[in-house]
């Protein structure tokens, strides 16, 4: 099942049927909002408004653990993360869609793991997004006449303020391609939950490094986001059947990320943490 994390411009799809909003509880607290369940051409889909339907949550106040846990409980296996970003690369102009394949995580205040004291796990993040899923998106987009850039490094900043000029230039010197506030720890948590995760980053501006963009304003960002919204909807509609019909999905390495990741011996594992992880790590603990 496909789960889509994004804004209202994404889940207002023509042809979406059998829709209903449903509250999904999580032992990690409250998700950003209820989940919207629906079908597109017979394919089941779940949408989660990352910031809430009224955009009441800033990037640093989102409960990322509850969001991923709720999607896993809803039966989601493949996550499409759609978000607005600033460009740190002259070639990636506003309006460009980038399929992220790497991150540099500069967030500092967020709960970034389902594991911890009492139950320790270390998952691989060498390739932090699902290459299978990103490849499907890239091919499906091309067939639909929608241009996407396959691969790019996303600098995840804490926010909610935009970058200083010095920060923007620093991240450019690190060869980062785009900058955003929401993909971390989202991608890390999806990996821990053994879910395939692909990030579709929609460029809204050139950040403050560009001589024509000395100051990034929210009005500028919103204007470009609105212009991107229709393309995003068309992209989602184009890729859904390709993902649903992918026969190789069940063998994807993302779905076995915890196979050798849990370090704590069984006799020393905190039973309360195991209880909380009934959805996230149920395959490992034999409950799901």
Residues noted as catalytic:
205, 207
Q: What is the DSSP letter of 266?
A: G
Backbone angles phi, psi at 61, to 5 degrees: -110, 5
Q: Give the separation between CA 202 and CA 209, rounded to whole angstroms.
A: 18
Q: Residue 223, Cα to own-chain centre: how many angstroms?
A: 22
Q: Give the separation between CA 200 and CA 72, rounded to whole angstroms.
A: 20
Looking up tokens 């970034």 gives: 112
Question: Which is it for strands 102-105 and 97-99: parallel, antiparallel or unpaired?
Answer: unpaired
Looking up tokens 């509880």 gives: 25
Nearest to 10 by CA among 60, 50, 63, 43: 50
Strand locations in 140-222, DSSP E?
149-150, 153-156, 178-180, 196-205
Q: Which string of b and e fits 124-153 if b means at least 16 CB within 10 Å? A: eeeebbbbbbbebbbebbeeeebebbbebb
Q: Give the separation between CA 258 and CA 281, rounded to whole angstroms.
A: 8
């Amino acid at each position: 099942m496909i789960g889509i994390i994004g804004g209202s411009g994404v889940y207002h799809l023509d042809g979406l049927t059998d829709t209903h909003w449903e509250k999904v509880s999580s032992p990690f607290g409250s998700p950003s909002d209820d989940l919207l369940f629906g079908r597109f051409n017979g394919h089941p889909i779940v949408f989660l408004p990352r910031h809430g339907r009224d955009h009441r949550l800033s990037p640093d106040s989102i409960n990322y653990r509850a969001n991923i846990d709720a999607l896993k409980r809803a039966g989601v296996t493949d996550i499409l993360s759609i978000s607005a970003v600033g460009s740190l690369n002259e070639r990636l102009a506003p309006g460009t869609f980038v399929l992220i394949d790497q991150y540099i995580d500069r967030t500092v205040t967020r709960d970034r793991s389902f594991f911890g004291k009492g139950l320790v796990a270390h998952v691989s993040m060498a390739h932090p997004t699902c290459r299978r899923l990103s490849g499907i998106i890239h091919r499906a987009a091309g067939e639909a006449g929608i241009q996407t850039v396959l691969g790019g490094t996303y600098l995840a900043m804490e926010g909610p303020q935009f970058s200083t000029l010095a920060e923007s230039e620093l991240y450019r010197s690190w060869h980062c391609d785009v900058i955003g506030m929401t993909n971390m720890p989202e991608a890390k948590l999806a990996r821990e939950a053994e879910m395939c995760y692909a990030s579709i980053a929609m460029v809204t501006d050139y950040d403050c490094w560009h001589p024509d963009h000395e100051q990034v304003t929210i009005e500028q960002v919103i204007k470009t986001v609105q212009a991107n919204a229709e393309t995003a909807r068309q992209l989602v509609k184009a890729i859904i059947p390709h993902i649903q019909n992918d026969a190789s999905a069940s063998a994807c390495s993302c779905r076995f990320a915890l196979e050798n990741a849990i370090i704590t011996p069984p006799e020393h594992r905190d039973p309360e943490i195991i209880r909380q992880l009934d959805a996230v790590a149920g395959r490992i603990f034999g409950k799901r």
